[in-house]
């Protein structure tokens, strides 16, 4: 057994069964080891950002770590943006980054780079395996690191000679340290703060869906406080049957209006809300400047335990979740006429199947779709947590691999889709049930909004940097070139018909929605 084989068997013994990969020469021993272990599902991504984004989506839906296989420092660098998004989502991702053989590093080979430096830019845990006999232990510790703190980015750098030299036996799964428990004094203070009229409970992580969301809603109802979710959510349960949450907005002006009257804001499983960017003459924090912010539980701490302790401090019976208000099903009419983001939202609200997964990278077109689908059938909503565009299509790949029985719908801007267009090919190869909706407005509209927000007027050069209109992107041709069938639409009726057909067919399908 060589080092690579010992690593693959260690990962399998630890419960890792999916590898999103874009390998190169330095990883060939690892690829050969994967070939001898068919229990590991290997999924080729034609760009490293596709692999890292897919691992993010996979963890968000399963809470299980996938491994990504990347080629040296340049390959890791290509995947860094979506590892940044994964880090902000609190996703656990284990990356195996190949490295030149240790004795080869004294030479200035073309692909030699600062593997540790590029890994540390985004990883919580980094290690270079120094000996083939240590690789299995290193792999077990990397997996434990990725599983710790509710999900972290762990990177194991594997020199080629440690992969091909004789290795040790695979290591058993290492125990994952439990997240830090809640502080009793902080819980008591939070309970008092939430009882103030107009107080807010801002939750994240495991409190956005499932039992965590139910308990958070109970707490807010008992305390008479607002239950609030961040705007950029790793995973949020919405639609019929979900507990209602007030959601922060993208624009800081909207968040100022929501939070300025809040005298006390308790944070559980999330960070202090801040403006996406700084703007002249506007605050960075949208909270009430005279209010109090209590950071009760950080994202890497025990969110479920903290909620349970907070419920106990308020004297709640966890069995009372059945009495909570729930989102009711209220479907609009199918839209007609002009094709707008609102029309797309209305059609999606009517046609979205039960328990679908919606991945949102619609950028400027997201808000109308979010509003329209609030009362649709129950679904999960995944957003671009780190703001690095190009996450939507890879997230959909990971979510579809994680949940093969559920329909995945991607809301995708045309500019952002170009960052990871190769993910369409992976959807086709893996025959994933993904419906891609491209908002084809022929530009980076968000940049126009941001330029106005800083008080600048766009001119000719700005237009050249913001538009993708000369030549126009042919989304039907691009999709079909990657093996995904597609159709263009330019009216609300045509969009609704295309969406209805797409949601009932197997495999991926792309709808190019022409917007003005």
Task: Judge whether 3-164 and 184-323 match in fold.
Answer: yes
Give whole-number Cα distances, 180 to 271, 297, 305, in Å.
16, 9, 9
Laid out side by side, the sheet with 246-247 consists of: 246-247, 226-229, 200-203, 264-268, 292-297
The CA-based angle 304-407-250, given to 5 degrees, is 60
pLDDT in tens, 305-316: 999 999 999 998
The CA-based angle 35-31-56, given to 5 degrees, is 105
Fold classification of 3-164 (topology level) = Rossmann fold (3.40.50)
Instruction: Choose among 180, 186, 234: nearest CA to 210.
Output: 234
Q: How far is CA 45 from the centre of its chain?
A: 17
Q: Read off the tokens for 24.
A: 């190169």
The pair phi, psi for residue 198, each rounded to 5°, is: 85, 5
Structural domain boundaries in the chain: 3-164, 184-323, 341-514
Q: Read off the tokens for 72.
A: 């040296």
Specify whether the CB–CB gap between 234 and 382 falls below 8 A. Answer: yes
Q: What local confidence, expressed as pLDDT, does residue 464 receive?
A: 61
Q: What is the rounded distance in angstroms from the CA atom of residue 173 to the CA atom of residue 175? A: 7
Q: What is the rounded distance in angstroms from the CA atom of residue 442 to the CA atom of residue 495? A: 18
Q: Read off the tokens for 479.
A: 């999709």
Residues shown for the chain: 516
Residues of the chain scoring pLDDT < 70: 318-322, 442-456, 458-467
Q: Give me the CATH code for the 184-323 domain, please.
A: 3.40.50.1220
The pair phi, psi for residue 199, each rounded to 5°, is: -65, 160
Specify burial of residue 60 (Cβ count, 10 A radius: 0-12, 13-18, 19+). buried
Place of tokens 């308990």: 215
The alpha helices in 170-251, defined as continuous H runs, are: 184-194, 210-223
Q: What local confidence, expressed as pLDDT, does residue 460 receive?
A: 67
Specify burial of residue 254 (Cβ count, 10 A radius: 0-12, 13-18, 19+). middle
pLDDT in tens, 90-142: 999 999 999 999 989 899 989 899 999 999 999 999 999 999 999 999 999 99
The alpha helices in 224-356, defined as continuous H runs, are: 252-259, 303-313, 341-351
The pair phi, psi for residue 433, each rounded to 5°, is: -85, 80
Q: What local confidence, expressed as pLDDT, does residue 318 receive?
A: 66
Instruction: Choose among 359, 425, 433, 399: nearest CA to 18.
Output: 399
Dihedral over Cα of 98, 102, 106, 109: its sign: negative
Q: What is the rounded distance in angstroms from the CA atom of residue 391 to the CA atom of residue 412? A: 10
Q: What local confidence, expressed as pLDDT, does residue 154 receive?
A: 98
Place of tokens 């994964």: 86
Global pTM reads: 0.95
Q: What local confidence, expressed as pLDDT, does residue 111 receive?
A: 85
Place of tokens 């994967």: 34
CATH architecture of 341-514: 3-Layer(aba) Sandwich (3.40)
DSSP 338: B
Q: What local confidence, expressed as pLDDT, does residue 443 receive?
A: 59
Neighbours of 73 (CB within 10 A): 21
Q: Any residues with CB less than 8 A from the CB of 348 and at least 6 apart, and which?
A: 369, 372, 373, 376, 409, 437, 499
């Amino acid at each position: 057994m060589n080092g690579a084989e010992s690593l693959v068997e260690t990962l399998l013994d630890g419960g890792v069964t999916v590898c999103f990969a874009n390998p190169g020469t330095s990883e060939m021993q690892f690829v050969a080891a994967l070939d001898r272990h068919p229990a590991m599902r290997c999924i080729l991504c034609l760009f490293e950002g596709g692999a890292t984004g897919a691992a993010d989506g996979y963890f968000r839906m399963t809470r299980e770590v996938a491994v990504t296989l990347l080629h040296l420092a340049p390959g890791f660098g290509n995947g860094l943006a979506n590892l940044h998004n994964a880090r902000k989502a609190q996703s656990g991702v284990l990356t195996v980054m190949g490295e030149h053989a240790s004795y080869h590093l004294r030479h200035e080979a073309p692909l030699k780079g600062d593997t540790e430096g590029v890994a540390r830019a985004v990883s919580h845990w980094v290690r270079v395996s120094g000996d083939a006999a240590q690789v299995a232990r290193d792999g077990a510790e990397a997996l434990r690191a990725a599983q710790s703190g509710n999900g972290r980015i762990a990177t194991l750098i594997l020199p080629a000679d440690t992969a091909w030299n004789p290795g040790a036996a695979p290591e058993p799964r290492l125990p994952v340290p439990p997240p830090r428990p809640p502080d009793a004094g902080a819980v008591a203070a939070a309970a008092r703060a939430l009882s103030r009229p107009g107080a807010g409970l801002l939750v994240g992580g495991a409190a956005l869906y499932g039992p965590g969301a139910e308990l958070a809603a109970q707490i807010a109802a008992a305390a008479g406080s607002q239950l609030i979710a961040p705007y950029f959510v790793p995973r949020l349960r919405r639609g019929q049957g979900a507990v209602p949450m007030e959601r922060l907005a993208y624009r800081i002006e909207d968040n100022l209006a929501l939070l300025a009257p809040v005298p006390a804001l308790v944070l559980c499983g999330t960070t202090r809300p801040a403006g996406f960017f700084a703007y002249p003459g506007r605050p960075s924090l949208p909270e009430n400047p005279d209010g109090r912010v209590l950071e009760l539980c950080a994202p890497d701490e025990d969110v479920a335990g903290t909620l349970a302790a907070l419920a106990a401090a308020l004297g709640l019976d966890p069995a009372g979740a059945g009495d909570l208000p729930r989102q009711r099903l209220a479907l609009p009419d199918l839209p007609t006429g002009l094709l707008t983001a609102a029309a797309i939202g209305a059609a999606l609200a009517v046609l979205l199947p039960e328990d679908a997964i919606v991945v949102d990278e619609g950028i400027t077109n997201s808000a109308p779709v979010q509003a329209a689908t609030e009362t649709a059938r129950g679904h999960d909503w995944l957003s671009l947590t780190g703001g690095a565009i190009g996450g939507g299509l890879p997230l959909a790949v990971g979510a579809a691999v994680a949940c093969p029985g559920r329909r995945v719908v991607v809301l995708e801007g045309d500019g952002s889709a170009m960052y990871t267009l190769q993910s369409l090919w992976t959807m086709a190869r893996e025959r994933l049930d993904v419906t891609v909706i491209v908002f084809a407005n022929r530009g980076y509209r968000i940049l126009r909004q941001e330029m106005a927000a800083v008080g600048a007027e766009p001119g000719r050069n700005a237009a050249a940097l913001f538009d993708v209109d000369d030549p126009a992107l042919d989304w039907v041709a691009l999709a079909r070139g990657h093996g995904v069938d597609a159709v263009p639409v330019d009216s609300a009726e045509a969009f609704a018909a295309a969406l209805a057909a797409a949601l009932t067919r197997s495999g991926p399908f792309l709808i190019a929605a022409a917007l003005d």
